[in-house]
Structure 1
Amino acid sequence: MEAIRQLRGYGKVNSDEDRAIRRDTKQRLLFTSVSVIVLLTVTIGLTIAAFSAKEDDTYNSYPNQPPDFAPSLSDMIKALCSVTSYPDLCHSTISPVNGSDIPNNPIEIFKMSLRATMDEIANISYVISTLNFPLNDQRLGLAIKDCSELLDSAIYWVNNSISLLNSKPLIDFTVSDLRAWLSAVVTDQESCLDSFDGTSSSVKDKLQDAMEKSTKLTINSLAIATGILGILQKLNFRMHGRKLLAVREVEFRRRLYLLRDPTRLAPNVTVAKDGSGLVRTISEAIHLAPQRSDVPFVIHAKTGVYHENVIIGRNKWNVVLIGDGMNKTIVDGRLNFDDGTPTFSTSTFAIDGKRFMARDMGFQNSAGPQNHQAVALRSSSDQSIFYRCSFQGFHNTLYSHSLRQFYRDCDITGTVDFIFGDAAAVFQNCTIRPRQPLPGQESTITAQGKKDPNESTGFSFQGCTISSYNDNTTVAVYLGRPMKNYSTVMVMQSNISAVVVPKGWTGYTVGSVPPDTATYLEFKNTGWGSNVAGRVNWPRYKKASTEDAKRFTVDSFLNASEWISETGVAFKATLN
């Protein structure tokens, strides 16, 4: 467990420059003559500093209350657990027998819940390591490998959540990060179980039983993160965001300077199949990227079809991949479910490192519809951006797995569930082209996988065009079906051709009744397929209002105007 606790936090800021400035200031003051003016200035400065220190006392101040006021420990625990789905488990997790071990601070109590979650997920990792399987069972072996990696990812994001609470006070930006990361922890555990589809049911059942507690603890922690600002307000617990805003402004300006227009950046590495670049494969270029870099590492991949499977690891940050055009620079793979590979590992191109960006690239899986699940690209990269990219495949083309993602001017083709996963993803000005599936299959564009109502995930399509891959598409095409109970999709301001049937949406299996909690919305769409008169009569399907639609814009849904604008990629922040 010590290794887990030593994981580095997300986005910590180096303070060397601040210390240097303070040192220089002190040296100048030593040589300043003593005078009434200086004394007055120092006095005023000390007064301001004392006031600022008082303002920044984020965690231990209770405004409008007598000096000896503080909510009781039981009040804090009750308030935190009241918003959870499993309150009894919440109380038992953060109410040890020795009450003196519990800090009298709701933020610290919240961190106790997160640590308990991380420890329980680590226990599941141990259970995975003890599983025995026949050496000739390729699918089961790969499933165990995928599950182990997903649990490592879950631990990583819980640890980052704790680090964030240690370093920054709570405001809306912080809560947005916490919800995105803890939603990913829910998704990682669910994907771990999904990896065992098509394997021995006894192994999956054993693992599902072992994961029950970790899943519930994660859902509880996510619920607390979602309601934390209201909880602190209810407890009259002081919140202040000036310090965080200053930190974010420094980070933002640094990256804005470096990456506002990637076309002006000379590539760090050029990839060319003909040997005219530094390396011949994209994987080699990724290997050269530094670990945890705060500045962009730019890779230019020249025209060509690169037959390789690329993985960008969790510690490869700020990788920028630029091709010569979505139909000119293409990464192609053929891994698929039918050859014994779990869906998660079929990806031709997979990204785990944060703030990845691809521009003018093509990603495809050419396994064909007969091989079923075959992913062209999987993104588990927080704040990832895809600009003028194509994603070509059939069943499960684009795996928007988790965290926050933005797609602009992209081309996406496929047959069954060809945009799927549990990310918070916005697709703007993209062309969505369903194609002919296998006989007996229907074409479904989305299969969004939101499991818990507090997850900040879903798919939003704004200003897109949905049309047939070619005129030979004769099967029924649906906008989507619910992969999990809280599946959430918005289609707005888009042109929907007649390829989409009047019903619009369908259950996950033929004839099945979808969960009442699945949310499907449409807003001001055009085209022959946009008429909602014949749409499904589901409890949470509706023709959306303007207020509904505003919740699914880049500004509201991704809180992303900052991290998209710093890349120079065009985007629409609102409905207008």
Structure 2
Amino acid sequence: MVSKAVASLASIILVACVIAGVVCLVNRSGDSHDGDHGTNISTSSKAVASICSTTSYKDACVNSLENVGKNESATAKDYIIAAIQATIEEAKKSIKAAESVKTDGGKDPRDAMAVEDCKDLLEFAIEDLQAAFSFVGDSDLHTINDRLFDLRNWLSAVVSYQQTCLDQIGEPQYKDPMEHGLLNATQLTSNALTIVSQLGEILKAFHIDIELPKGADTGRRLMELSVVGHDDYPSWFPAGDRKLLQAGRAKPNAVVAQDGSGQYKTVGGAVNAIPRKSKNRWVIYIKAGVYRESVILPKDATNVYMYGDGPTKTIISGSKNFAINKITTMNTATFGTYLINGEGFIAKGIGFRNTAGPQGHQAVAFRSQSDLSAYFDCRFEGYQDTLYYQTNRQFYRNCVVSGTIDFIFGRGAAVIQNSEIIVRMPLPNQLNTVTADGTKEAFAISGVVLQNCKIVAEPQLFPNRFKIKSYLGRPWDKFSTTAVMESEVGDLIDPEGWTIWSGSNNHQTAKYLEYGNRGAGSNTNRRAKWTRVIKKNEALKYTPSVFLEGGKKAVKWVQGTGLPVTMGLTY
């Protein structure tokens, strides 16, 4: 009877706290203190301990929330703001740490470039953190919950920027101080991502009931997507972009032509002339030709749509590479995007090529940081590290991607649909791996999905396909996530299917999945034991509608293109 009375009192107190909009925690341990019969209300240390209990770095979490925990009227929103604010402060310190690392450019040119890259990447991280901070500060709990997917995506991008910084540094005398300087920032970013991702559970603990956001993994949503043959237009682009792409040859703001018939003879020239921070679409038409240049879209060149005369006619070609040029992987890209202040870069009918060959080792043809970006009828040609989905949400449809080692890799979230994946001849004693996902955090919005694709060997590899090991992928980081679904898998793929990342235990925590594949290489009887064949309900979670959407903003992403995209499963 006593326990029931205590429970009732606790419930009344919790309800009162919810009505007041504060975070309260009830001690249900049964310990009596000063005659309170086991009901001890705290708005400080216990609330902080509860929120931090799910994080990986609990001490850092407690320290970051200590001050807000002392506020007796603090709400769940206040705790989220505090977690992000603390992360911003540490991220700013990490830039100072990068500036303090002195390199020898003559002796170690690649590491010198890597440290400079760190400064840029950490600036990008701060911009995303500030965007997240502003959004939470200007929103109520319902709004935050509706856009949790977007918020998680921003924090996931921060994780990617931080890790990319460290990935590219080789020598210990540079890497060790950088890791030390980033330690607090990376821990707090991980914690903030966990707190945001677990918000629903936190609110439930405080008896705050908010409906799941649209696009979440609800039973009804999955039922809608499970219809056989369900083929719809994804909803990621606004109506204006739909009309733009449906028009085919849209009226350009700028024309690039090698013969002088346009305003510019180089792609770089047209890119440099893009109005900065434009709210309207800026359309660039690139006429047929091979443009031998490296092009980087700057971060303030927003809302860009670029199209060509076809991926085998309009080609942007470069040869920068890791091994010969002694530069960092991200700087080998023939074409790259730095769309931080904007989003939604679209490319159609263009080929992106890196001609360094297998001897160049890491040699990126295309690298994208642009959120809510999409690529249609494009071709990405290279060998190692061809297509780099570096950060944020990306969609590829009717494309061709070719390469050897980890040639589809990154730390963002990418779905590649209805595309041809061509495995090429590697160097002697090398193996082929189609994918290498680098998801570092369990709650990150990241991973790669190949859906309804065709995985084949190039003509040069074909007669040697049983002599050279080729795998669907390998786990680059602890929580690497890769799904191959409804695809035609050629007999070049080894019966084991997947291989481990040498020298790591990433495969023990990674998520490697197959569903509904066909072809001679799709037999899963001899697959690696750490991979799984999944059923329809789980496979639906990796379709664009669930894997890439999740918030009201993202619901207008791809569907607006007017191009055919499968939102669910084809069967």
Q: CA deviation at 1:67?
A: 5.6
> Are 1:224 and 2:191 an aligned pair?
no
| TM alignment of 1:494-509, pairs within 5 A | 494-509=487-502
How many angstroms apart in 2 are the aligned matches of 1:254 and 1:129? 39
Which residue identity does 2:565 align to in structure 1?
A: F
Residue number in structure 2 paired with 1:159: 130
Shift in alpha-carbon separation, 1:240–1:108, aligned structure 2, 3 A: farther
When the two chains are superposed, the root-mean-square deviation of aligned CA atoms in Å is: 2.3
Post-superposition shift, 1:283? 1.6
Q: 2:91 aligns with which of 85, 106, 121?
A: 121
* Equivalent position SS for 2:496: coil
Mapping of 1:186-225 within 5 angstroms?
186-197=159-170, 200-225=171-196
Q: 1:409 to 1:98 in 2, by over 3 A?
A: closer
Amino acid across the alignment from 1:363: F
CA displacement 1:132-165 (0-9 Å, x = unmatched):
2224132122111111111111111111111221
Residue 543 of structure 1: aligned partner: 533
Change (3 A) 1:202 1:135: closer
Residue in structure 2 matched with residue 527 of structure 1 by the alignment = 519
Corresponding residue SS for 2:478: coil
Query: Would the alpha carbon gap of residues 116 and 328 (structure 1) be closer, same or farther in structure 2, given more than 3 Å must change?
Result: same
**Residues 157 and 392 of structure 2 are in contact (CA less than 8 Å); yes or no, is this contact kept in structure 1?**
yes
Residues 103, 174 of structure 2: 8 Å contact kept: no
Cα 1:129–1:522 shift into 2, 3 Å: same
| Whole-angstrom distance in 2 between the partners of 1:63 and 1:428 | 48
Q: Which residue of 2 aligns with 1:325?
A: 310
Tell me by how many angstroms 1:233 deviates.
3.3
1:262 maps to which residue?
A: 245
> Partner residue of 1:438?
427
- Partner SS state of residue 261, structure 1: helix
Task: Give the corresponding residue for 1:413.
Answer: 402
- Give unpaired runs (5+ residues) of structure 1: 1-61, 243-251
Distance across 2 between alignment mates of 1:520 and 1:133: 39
Q: Does 1:378 align with 2:371?
A: no
Q: Does 2:451 correspond to 1:462? A: yes
Q: How many angstroms apart in 1 are the aligned matches of 2:558 and 2:15? A: 37
Going from structure 1 to structure 2, the CA distance change for 1:68 and 1:482 (only over 3 Å counts) comes to closer
Paired AA for residue 546 in structure 1: K
User: Contact between 2:88 and 2:126, CA under 8 Å: does it hold in 1?
Assistant: yes
Listed one character per residue, the Cα deviations across residues 439-487 of structure 1 (whole Å, up to 9, x for unaligned) are: 0100100010011111121111110000012253421110001111111
**1:12-45 per-position Cα deviation (integer Å, ceiling 9, x unaligned):** xxxxxxxxxxxxxxxxxxxxxxxxxxxxxxxxxx
Contact in 1 for aligned 2:357/2:383 (Cα 8 Å) = yes
- Would the alpha carbon gap of residues 258 and 449 (structure 1) be closer, same or farther in structure 2, given more than 3 Å must change? closer
| C-alpha contact 1:260 1:565 (8 A) present in aligned 2 | no
Looking at structure 2, the residues matched to 215 and 431 of structure 1 have their Cα atoms a distance apart, in angstroms, of: 37
| TM-fit CA distance, 1:330 | 0.7
Give a deviation string over 1:22-72, Cα, whole Å, max 9, x none. xxxxxxxxxxxxxxxxxxxxxxxxxxxxxxxxxxxxxxxx97878667433
Q: Tell me the equivalent position of 1:447.
A: 436
Q: Could you tell me how far 1:266 is from its partner in structure 2?
A: 1.0
CA contact (8 A) 1:486 1:518 kept: yes
Higher relative contact order (CA 8 A, sep 6+): 2
Structure 2 unaligned segments of length 5 or more: list them.
Answer: 1-13, 25-42, 214-234
Aligned pairs (5 A) from 1:289-328: 289-328=274-313
Q: Give the C-alpha shift of residue 172 in structure 1.
A: 4.9
1:351 matched to 2:321? no
Give the Å deviation of 1:232.
2.2
TM-score when scaled to structure 2? 0.83
Picking from 234, 249, 252, the partner of 2:205 is 234
Q: Which residue of 2 aligns with 1:572?
A: 566
Please give the secondary structure, in 2, of the residue aligned with 1:572: coil
CA contact (8 A) 1:171 1:241 kept: no
Aligned to 2:91, the other structure's residue is in SS state: helix
Q: Distance in 2 between matches of 1:192 and 1:421?
A: 13
Structure 2: which amino acid aligns with 1:255? P
Q: CA deviation at 1:320?
A: 0.5
Q: Is the 8 A contact 2:480 2:506 kept in 1?
A: no
* Rounded Cα–Cα distance in structure 1 between residues aligned with 2:428 and 2:277: 47
Could you say which residue in structure 2 is the equivalent of 1:25? none
Q: Quick one: distance in 2 between partners of 1:292 and 1:105?
A: 35
1:193-219 superposed Cα distances (whole Å, 9 cap, x missing partner): 01113xx21110111122111111000
Instruction: State how far apart, in whole Å, the 2-side matches of 1:549 and 1:336 are.
Output: 36
Is the CA contact (8 Å cut-off) linking 2:309 and 2:350 kept in structure 1? yes
Q: How many residues align?
A: 501
Q: Distance in 1 between matches of 2:148 and 2:94?
A: 27
Query: Compared with structure 1, are the counterparts of its residues 236 and 561 closer, same or farther at alpha carbon in structure 2 (3 Å cutoff)?
Result: same
User: 1:258 and 1:389, CA in 2 relative to 1: closer, same or farther beyond 3 A?
Assistant: closer
Structure 1 residue 515: deviation in Å?
Answer: 3.1
Report the Cα distance in structure 1 between the residues aligned to 2:404 and 2:314, rounded to whole angstroms.
23
Check whether the contact 1:171–1:229 (CA below 8 A) recurs between aligned residues.
no
State how far apart, in whole Å, the 2-side matches of 1:405 and 1:343 are: 20
CA distance in 1, matches of 2:161, 2:387: 17
* Secondary structure of residue in 1 paired with 2:471: strand
| Contact 2:278–2:303 (CA under 8 A) maintained in structure 1 | yes
Alpha-carbon distance, 1:312 to partner? 1.2
CA contact (8 A) 1:103 1:109 kept: no
Match of 2:508 among 485, 498, 516: 516
The answer for the alignment partner of 2:543 in structure 1 is: 553
Alignment equivalent of 1:477, drawn from 467, 470, 475: 470
Supply the distance in 2 between the matched residues of 1:217 and 1:550 (Cα, whole angstroms). Answer: 32
| Partner in structure 2 of residue 362 of structure 1 | 351
- SS at 1:374's partner residue? coil
Distance across 1 between alignment mates of 2:21 and 2:486: 52
Query: Aligned with 1:407: secondary structure?
Result: strand
Secondary structure in 1 matching 2:557: helix
Does structure 2 conserve the Cα–Cα contact (< 8 Å) formed by 1:86 and 1:216? yes
Q: Deviations over 1:357-379 (max 9, x none)?
A: 10001001101111100000001
- What is the alpha-carbon distance in structure 1 between the residues aligned to residue 439 and residue 273 of structure 2? 35
Superposed counterparts of 1:53-92, under 5 Å: 70-72=22-24, 73-74=43-44, 76-92=47-63
User: Which of 557, 561, 564 is 1:563 aligned to?
Assistant: 557
Change (3 A) 1:461 1:126: same
TM-score w.r.t. the length of structure 1 is 0.83
Whole-Å separation in 2 of the counterparts to 1:254 and 1:530: 34
* Partner AA of 1:547 in structure 2: N
